[in-house]
Structure 1
Amino acid sequence: MLESIVLYDIPGNATKGKAWSPNTWKTRFSLNIKGIPYRTVWVEYPDIVALSKQIGVGPTSTNEDGSPQYTLPAIYDPNTRTAVADSVAIARYLDQTYPSSGPSLIPKETDALHMAFIQAFRDVFFVNAGQLVLPATCAQLNPRSEAYFRRTREEMFNAKLEDLAPAGSEKRAQHWKGFEKALHTVKGWLAADGTEKVHVMGDRVSFADVVVASYLIWMKLVLGPESKEWADMMKWDGGYWERFMAEFDGWVTVDVGTEAEV
């Protein structure tokens, strides 16, 4: 019998389930889709470096000053005594290690297409969505993570988060128009042959779908599932995005988890 994989995630307070991060949702969805048992350990932002070193997982990139950057999601698999960070690397690991569990997330013949799609989606998504969702994200974090998130993101944008897209402002309205256009562009990719599709890579779910759903559920959770903004999004493109997200309803599960001991 398999021991549960440990998923390291960042807690928030926007929802009872705590899970909010689009990057960690990519791995949570991956595990849920493949039906692999796991348990969550919650890690605050300032503890990610120490936690990563503790479980033996390396940096996923470098900071602007050249220092190593450690990020979540990360997993530790007690069945193979393996630690892996980065959602794409984790998806590949799950496919290779548990090929008989659920569908293949990144079928080998689609590997290059997945990488191209993920980059293209991020490029169109963040032009406007970042300004809309980052302030709300910061507001729902626990104090230690909130301070870290605010400092790093305000350095990134060279502006206070509250000034990125204030509620009721023309700036916010323009970002929403830009974001609607961005999702319409993605919808166009999926309907290039004139037929509507709810899966990026064909007739079954793949990691490409997981990426899209993870960024959208981030917006849903931090803006509020009952918010007018989320309701408006679900009406775009004739309700296409509501139909797309409905495909993931059975995989939106979050365990209680435990706090990290770092």
Structure 2
Amino acid sequence: MTIIFYDIPSSAPGSSWSPNTRKARYVLNYKGIPYKTEWVEFSDIESHCKKLGILPTSTKRAGGGPHYTLPAIHDPSTGAYISESTKIAEYLEKTYPDTPTVFPHNTIGLQWPFNDAYTSLLTPFWMFILPATFEKLHPVSQAYYRTTREAFFGKKIEELMPTGDAATKEWANCKEGLGKVSVWFEKTDSSGPYLLGDRVSWGDFVVASYLVWMRIIWGEDSKEWKDISSWDGGRWKRLVESLKEYETVV
């Protein structure tokens, strides 16, 4: 039976843009599990999840109530509803053991903290990519995105983007952050381009999901993406291109 995959739409080519949903989409495509996408606007995520019985993934920063997020899946073959990309990956591993694993060599215990370590190094990117992402969302989702992001950062979305010397400094910090990740990958360069060398794993999908987000939002011909593509000897462009077949949106 075909899994239903819930994702957030946009005006970007292919509609899919979110790095968090892409992690799960990568896993579904890599495993070759049949699925179809149902699009849910930001403003409808909470009501949609409540209607289907999909559990919240965290607690809201403001007010402390349950926080509902995507991705989520519904697997008609088991009746399960699963939310949050890491839980989806773990569910698919256990439920479909005959498909290619995203945790080779039993590395699941190491892959989860890698996710957090990697994203913590991307913090300088947020001021650049969030305003650009806002422009790609549909109006109904823009309203939600504005409210939540402005509450978090304490300033208007239009004020997030640094300018002048501040922009130059922050962009250098972006390069430095990815440079630290590159050092991790260098440890296995002798056996292949992936985090574990010649084996694709969850960590590669995590890294690529954020890079693809940037490529989609800024565009392949943008200065930002061209910069990123050139960093660390072209490592990030090569990684994304090596996983291109698993970007499919269905």
Aligned CA distance change for structure 1 residues 18 and 194 (closer, same or farther; 3 Å): closer
Task: Supply the distance in 1 between the matched residues of 2:190 and 2:157 (Cα, whole angstroms).
Answer: 40
User: Where does residue 183 of structure 2 map in the other structure?
Assistant: 188
Supply the AA of the counterpart residue of 1:139. E
The DSSP-based 3-state class of the residue aligned with 2:115 is: helix
Q: Name structure 1 gaps, 5 residues minimum.
A: 256-262
Is the 2:26–2:205 Cα contact (8 Å) retained in structure 1? yes
The DSSP-based 3-state class of the residue aligned with 2:81 is: strand
Is the 1:92–1:105 Cα contact (8 Å) retained in structure 2? no
Give me the TM-score of the superposition, normalised by structure 1: 0.91
User: Where does residue 175 of structure 1 map in the other structure?
Assistant: 170
Supply the AA of the counterpart residue of 1:58. L
User: Where does residue 152 of structure 1 map in the other structure?
Assistant: 148
Supply the AA of the counterpart residue of 1:116. P
Task: Supply the distance in 2 between the matched residues of 1:50 and 1:89 (Cα, whole angstroms).
Answer: 21
RMSD of aligned residue pairs (Cα, Å): 1.5
**Matched residue pairs, number?**
249
User: Where does residue 71 of structure 1 map in the other structure?
Assistant: 69
My pick for the range that moved more, 68-77 or 152-161, is: 152-161
Is the 2:54–2:83 Cα contact (8 Å) retained in structure 1? yes
User: Where does residue 43 of structure 1 map in the other structure?
Assistant: 40
Aligned CA distance change for structure 1 residues 48 and 140 (closer, same or farther; 3 Å): same
Q: CA deviation at 1:224?
A: 1.1
Q: CA deviation at 1:169?
A: 2.8
User: Where does residue 12 of structure 2 map in the other structure?
Assistant: 14
Query: Are residue 162 (structure 1) and residue 158 (structure 2) matched?
Result: yes
The DSSP-based 3-state class of the residue aligned with 2:33 is: coil
Q: CA deviation at 1:59?
A: 0.6
Task: Supply the distance in 2 between the matched residues of 1:196 and 1:97 (Cα, whole angstroms).
Answer: 30
Percent of aligned pairs with the same amino acid? 43
The DSSP-based 3-state class of the residue aligned with 1:83 is: strand
Q: Which of the pair has the greater relative contact order for Cα pairs under 8 Å at 6+ separation?
A: 1
The DSSP-based 3-state class of the residue aligned with 1:40 is: strand
Q: CA deviation at 1:153?
A: 0.4
User: Where does residue 210 of structure 1 map in the other structure?
Assistant: 205
Supply the AA of the counterpart residue of 1:186. V
Deviations 1:91-142 (A, max 9, x none): 00011011112x21134721221112111101111x2011110001111100
User: Where does residue 109 of structure 1 map in the other structure?
Assistant: 106
Supply the AA of the counterpart residue of 1:90. I
Is the 1:23–1:87 Cα contact (8 Å) retained in structure 2? yes
Supply the AA of the counterpart residue of 2:98. S
Supply the AA of the counterpart residue of 1:142. H
Is the 1:92–1:106 Cα contact (8 Å) retained in structure 2? no
The DSSP-based 3-state class of the residue aligned with 1:235 is: helix
Q: Name structure 2 gaps, 5 residues minimum.
A: none
Give me the TM-score of the superposition, normalised by structure 2: 0.95
Task: Supply the distance in 2 between the matched residues of 1:175 and 1:161 (Cα, whole angstroms).
Answer: 17
